[in-house]
Structure 1
Amino acid sequence: MEHIILIKGARVFAPAALGIKDVLIAGNSIAAISDNLAVNNSTLPITVIDGSGKILAPGFVDSLVHYIGGGGEGGFATRTPEMQLTDATLAGVTTAIGVLGTDATTRTLTNLLAKAHALETEGISTYCHTGSYEIPCRTVTGNITDDLILIDKIIGVGEIAISDHRSSQPTTSELRKVAAAARVGGMLAGKGGTVSVHVGSGDSLLQPLFAAVKDTELSLKQFYPTHINRNIALFNAGLEFARAGGVIDFTTSTTEYDLKHGEVAAAEALSQALRAGIPAMQLTMSSDGNASLPVYSQNGELLGLEVGQVNSLLRALQTAVLKLDVNLSDALTSVTAAPAQILGLKQKGQLAVGKDADMLLLNSQSLSIDTVIAKGRRLVSAGKPVVYGTFEKPQQCTTGG
């Protein structure tokens, strides 16, 4: 086990560019970021990592992952598989927020919480949202506020579905009550209390959220709508939502069918939103990992189904920076500092003294993963896992690092 790690000479993005620095990790926290750091006490177990020629960035915060899988819209045989530890770590994800989607019957909140604890034990940081697509929300304790106050891993609600034929067709009053309960629970528990919102391709777009806050004390920032790159009409509505003070999320998992039928690729959506003047801290990308990605005809008939990939988050970042000339700090912000702030995860998403030691060494030219450190523990080295999930490799290999 590595007690102290010293990373030497990396180009640090916190996600703001800090230049070439050394970073010292003690336990699970960042102890120092400075020039020419050295640890002279030879009695301490120290691992020195050469970061020269590499980029050091915060670990990714994936704000929407179905890490127990989802109920497939094509019947029981299409229920999607669970996420494994290296699905996250090889994609640079050190913090993941698990949700339920369409299926809250065969996929349950207790199952979601159990998987969150398992992944936390294996090496990454995990949180959950209570609820699912439907209102009234499924909860653990009986109501949203109690779940947020009494269950440490529950930090918000969602993903509530709107503008979608699979939603429960929530009324304005129902959306308000969910947001109010999340707000109060978040305040009392010191959590974000955000409401993650699945937005479908319906004609109402984001209007249900504007209606929910109208003539109330609620803020648009109480809602965290995702899939905003689903089509150009929703993308443009998302820009309006952001200009009004809200935050929006682009989904990196997709299908060739969706891209050919009007979906805006997440990297392109991020690039366009930044060029439109939306601040980087109001824009995020998430993977929708292990979700079912159904393809429907205009009549609602299921044409096919694929599975969301956590590693699509890394690929979208690489595309944004290397092909679309998005500033690296802005691209990193969308998968680190911005989702962490929106979700109220104060220890995550930044490289700063006292923050959790979640970080990535990236190859400068390709932005591929070299090293992943989560909570001060090295999980990936030289692009290969050194820690595996319990059922990914024989038990004797699960304590590497």
Structure 2
Amino acid sequence: MKLFKQANIYSPEHLGIKDVLVSGSKIIAIDNNISVSSSHGLEIVDCQGTILVPGFIDSLVHITGGGGEGGFTTRTPQMPFSDAVKGGVTSLVGVLGTDAVSRSLEDLLAKAKALKENGLSVYCHTGSYHYPVLTISNSIEKDIMLIEEFIGVGEVAIADHRGSQMSWQELARVAAQARVGGMLSGKSGIVSIHVGDGESGLDLLHDVANNSDIPLSQFYPTHINRTKQVLEQGLVLAKAGGYIDFTTSTTEQILADGEIAAPQALKNALDNGVNIKQITMSSDGNASLPVFDENGRLTDLQIGQVQSLHQALVDAVKELNINFEDALKTITSNPANILALYNKGEIKQGFDADIVLLNKETLNIEQVFAHGQCLMNRQGKIKSTYFNL
């Protein structure tokens, strides 16, 4: 058991100064002053000077690496366990990307299981950028229903020269299969959408919603801060009931080419009246961050960083004066609700004890707990693992 004393709690709603009692992997009590009759086996965590928040949820990470757009030497590496912990990420979703040939769903699933054994909560999407959708069982429904870690499909690429140039009918069939698989297994069945900078933008999602029984909320489009045009389309989609996700990993070159930094995109969305519940941020960790010339040739490539998710939170609050609760929702309760992770994203009785302690002044990460276990202590030491995979 662990007793977090005198914690300034953001659930993400502000709860004030309270104690949090954790037993095993669950939060079992939140109250003004909790006392335990026996101290045997009880660990006290002094939270004075910190803010206690839910563990961050990163809805898009290339845990087995990504890239390859410039040949084999541009394949990006796997995500180490320590990268997630240092970034305060206790739950994440692993995906494939452009390369579903040298990267496989079987390897993605094995990596997810390794990260889970080290203490994280890890989920995956079946499929990749391409259509027909790559699966393990030869069925989207079966993958989602029968494989514990699989909760949806994606990221499927639209408006991108690396995608399969799908029709709306093809995307509708993918969404329908994911939807049914999710319904029958109690999962989200979400379709993660990679949005490129092509002229068609988000049109394909509206085409599906307007011509079928699939709602916009079945889709979870990311990279909505890629360009001003895509951002404007994203605001329209969110106001129509869809979700939008901003990517926190970027480079100076990509920003100079027209991408909007995720914190600024968040501010723009809020200033334009988008409901905060429709907005999330994700890192795109360990993805390639490619730059192409006008002929589609690769000119530069960097690697996405999971820790950019926390930095975007800090920048949103410290530099843009975005309400802390709102910024925090985009990486905790909002992705939990969209992905149907019912015991995640909030500091609440009965929920998983995924907890991050932030310095109240700087918002730097001081300690990280997942399922009630300390993964990073105040000295920055990461929980011992066999190989830090």
Unmatched 5+ residue regions in structure 2? none
Equivalent residues, number: 389
For 2:258, which of 255, 262, 273 is the aligned residue? 262
**Which residue in the other structure is 2:226 paired with?**
230
TM-superposed deviation, 1:214: 1.1
Task: Say if 2:101 is the partner of 1:110.
Answer: no
> For the residues of structure 2 that align with 1:390 and 1:76, how far apart are their CA atoms?
28
Q: Considering only aligned residues, what root-mean-square deviation do their CA atoms show, in Å? A: 1.0
Deviations 1:292-332 (A, max 9, x none): 11111122111011000000001000000011001111011
Aligned residue among 66, 72, 78 for 2:74: 78
**C-alpha displacement of 1:383:** 5.1
Report if the CA contact (8 A) 2:82-2:382 is conserved: no
Deviation string 1:71-109 (CA, Å, 9 cap, x unpaired) is 421111111000111100010000010000000011000
The correspondence for 2:296, drawn from 297, 300, 305, is: 300
Q: 1:85·1:388 contact (CA, 8 Å) conserved in 2?
A: no
Q: CA deviation at 1:215?
A: 2.9
Identical positions, percent: 52
Please state whether the residue corresponding to 1:18 is helix, strand or coil. strand
- 1:129–1:157: 8 Å Cα contact kept in structure 2? yes
Select which of 126, 131, 137 maps to 2:133: 137
CA shift for structure 1 position 272: 1.2
Q: Secondary structure at the match of 2:211?
A: coil
Q: Does 1:329 align with 2:325?
A: yes
**Match for residue 19 of structure 2?**
22
The reply on whether 1:94 has 2:90 as its aligned counterpart is yes
Q: Does 1:34 align with 2:20?
A: no
Q: Corresponding residue for 2:58?
A: 62
Is the contact between residue 343 and residue 351 of structure 2 (CA under 8 Å) also seen in structure 1? yes
Deviates more, 1:208-217 or 1:239-248: 208-217
AA aligned to 2:76 is T
TM-score, structure 1 normalization: 0.96
The residue aligned with 2:387 is 391
Asked if residue 208 in structure 1 is aligned to residue 210 in structure 2, the reply is no
Query: How does 1:365-384 map onto structure 2 within 5 Å?
Result: 365-382=361-378, 384=380
Structure 1: how far apart are the matches of 2:122 and 2:137?
Answer: 20
Distance 2:225 2:275 in 1: 17
Match in the other structure for 2:184: 188
Contact persistence 1:163–1:201 (CA under 8 A): yes
Contact (CA 8 Å) 1:86, 1:388: kept in 2 or not?
A: no
Matched, 1:217 2:213: yes
- Aligned position for 2:175: 179
8 A Cα contact 1:369 1:383, kept in partner: no
1:247 pairs with 2:266? no
Measured against aligned partners, the alpha-carbon deviations of 1:251-277 in whole angstroms (never above 9, x if no partner) come to: 000111110111000011111111111
Q: What is the rounded CA distance, in whole Å, between the counterparts of 1:243 and 1:68 in structure 2?
A: 34
2:45 to 43, 46, 49: 49
Shift of 1:353: 0.2
**Is there any run of 5+ residues in structure 1 with no aligned partner, and where?**
394-401
Match of 1:277, as an amino acid? G
